[in-house]
Amino acid sequence: MAKICPVTKKTSQVGGGYSNRTRATQYNPIGKTRRQVNLQKKRIYIPELKKHIIVRISTKGLKTISKNGAYATLKKAGVI
């Protein structure tokens, strides 16, 4: 399963992992690091369907669901 949030479409990113002093000397001993998205496995109740659904969703996506409602957000994302 890909590490991607179905609501926000967030995925992993590649970033540098070295200090400003290292950057100033043009020497990079650490290299690139992969930064993963903060995915949580959540069981969400949808009152319109009268059932629970389990989704792997980012924490930002959970805030979106609490703001806009579970049914509208997940239907727009194509989960249900």
**Residue range 7-65, pLDDT digits in tens:** 999 999 998 777 777 767 766 666 778 899 999 999 999 999 999 999 999 999 999 99
Is residue 50 one of the residues assigned to a domain? yes
pTM over 0.85: no
Residue 59: give the domain boundaries: 13-77
3-state secondary structure of 78: coil
Number of compact structural domains in the chain: 1
Is residue 56 one of the residues assigned to a domain? yes
Is residue 63 one of the residues assigned to a domain? yes
Show the 3-state SS of 5-51. Answer: CCCCCCCCEEEECCCHHHHHCCCCCCCEEEECCCEEEEEEEECCCCE
Q: What is the DSSP letter of 61?
A: H
Cα Rg of the chain, angstroms: 18
Q: Specify the CATH number for the domain of residue 49.
A: 2.30.170
Is residue 7 one of the residues assigned to a domain? no
- Alpha-carbon span 74 to 5, nearest angstrom: 11
